[in-house]
Amino acid sequence: MRRILLFTLVLLSVWSCATKKVDPEKQLFNYAKSDQSLIELLIKQGSNANKEHWVSFMVDCKTEKQVSEIISKAKLVGFDDDYISYSDKRKLWSSSLSAPMKLNLVEISASRAKLMPLISIKSCGGVGWGASVEK
pTM of the predicted protein model? 0.77
Nearest to 132 by CA among 42, 17, 13, 22: 42
Number of domains the chain is built from: 1
* Residue 24 within a domain: no
Does 9 fall in a domain? Answer: yes
Q: Which CATH number fits the domain that encloses residue 118?
A: 3.30.70.970
Is residue 110, in this structure, part of any structural domain at all?
yes
Single-letter amino acid, residue 19: T
- CA–CA separation, 73 vs 124, rounded Å? 15
Tens-of-pLDDT digits for all 135 residues of the chain? 444 434 444 444 544 555 555 444 445 678 999 999 999 999 999 999 999 999 999 999 999 999 999 999 999 999 999 899 999 999 999 999 999 999 999 999 999 999 999 999 899 998 999 999 999
Domain that includes residue 7, residue range: 2-19+29-130
State the Cα–Cα distance between residues 98 and 55, nearest whole angstrom: 5
Is position 135 within any domain?
A: no
